[in-house]
């Protein structure tokens, strides 16, 4: 059973940057694929992107070229670097982990998330 703690959110202006962190414990971190998800008010939680155990990444089209996912296995931490933020990126951001990165409804347990608010 994994334990997830997200941090790094905040309020930024459009065009700004934030770096989110997610500490994952409760298993062998190095074998996990990890995903970042977000949920905007009134919307369903959606996948933003993911990183495999060997460091390969993929992203949804809306964040490609702006967001970068990385991992530090020594720190059991996954990062989401967000650049050129837009108001539509405003959401609560979550991470999760498993043998693969799946859709949000495939995960049973979630952390508390971290709020990202982008002002116009």
Report the share of the chain in percent with pLDDT over 90: 87
Report how far residue 77's alpha carbon sits from residue 60's, in angstroms, rounded to the nearest whole number: 21
pLDDT tens string 106-120: 998 999 999 999 999
Report how far residue 119's alpha carbon sits from residue 97's, in angstroms, rounded to the nearest whole number: 30
pLDDT tens string 53-66: 999 999 999 999 99
pLDDT tens string 18-46: 999 999 998 777 778 999 999 999 999 99
């Amino acid at each position: 059973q994994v334990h997830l703690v997200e941090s790094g959110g905040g309020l930024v202006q459009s065009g700004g940057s934030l770096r989110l962190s997610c500490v994952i414990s409760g298993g062998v971190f190095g074998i996990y694929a990890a995903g970042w998800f977000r949920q905007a008010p009134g919307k369903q939680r959606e996948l933003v992107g993911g990183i495999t155990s060997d460091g390969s990444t993929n992203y949804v089209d809306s964040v490609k070229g702006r967001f970068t996912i990385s991992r530090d296995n020594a720190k059991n931490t996954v990062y989401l670097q967000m650049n050129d933020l837009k108001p539509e990126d405003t959401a609560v951001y979550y991470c999760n982990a498993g043998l693969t990165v799946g859709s949000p409804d495939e995960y049973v347990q979630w952390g508390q998330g971290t709020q990202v608010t982008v002002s116009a």
